[in-house]
Amino acid sequence: MERRKKKASQVALKVGIAGAIAFGALASGFLVSRRGRRFLRDVWQERKRSPLEDRVIDTFWGEPVLGRRPIEVAEVEPGVIAVLGQVRTQEEKRSALNIARKVKGVQEVEDRLEVLARAR
């Protein structure tokens, strides 16, 4: 009986902490931002990024234009980042690849970006 109470109190504590974190994220606007939505998608899909992938994707998310594009990154080998997704112009593509190259720890960048002009 005592063991059951202890387990129930541990679960209640975890639920309380998770609720407080979620409330804080919602109140700060994080969950309605692009970063927040992508973070939630990663969590939902149980996607775990490497520290290098995190640094590169965070850099993209901080860019006003590239942060709105469906760009993903994958560390295919240590220090080697593949940049995947879609951009609208060759300039955006060049910019994305240059940004990825400048991130600390990136030794090589594989270009897997597609240029698709916006349909009008």
pLDDT tens-digit readout, 18-57: 666 666 666 566 555 666 666 666 667 677 888 999 899 9
Work out the average pLDDT over 65-74: 90
Cβ-contact 60, 66 below 8 angstroms:
yes
pTM: 0.66
pLDDT at 79: 94
Q: Which amino acid is at 14?
A: K
Domains and CATH numbers, the chain: 48-120 (3.30.1340.30)
The pLDDT tens digits of the residues spanning 78-101 come to 999 999 999 999 999 999 999 999
Tokens 């593949």 sit on residue: 82
- The pLDDT of residue 9 is 76
- Look at residues 70, 75, 81 and name the one whose alpha carbon lies nearest to residue 114: 70
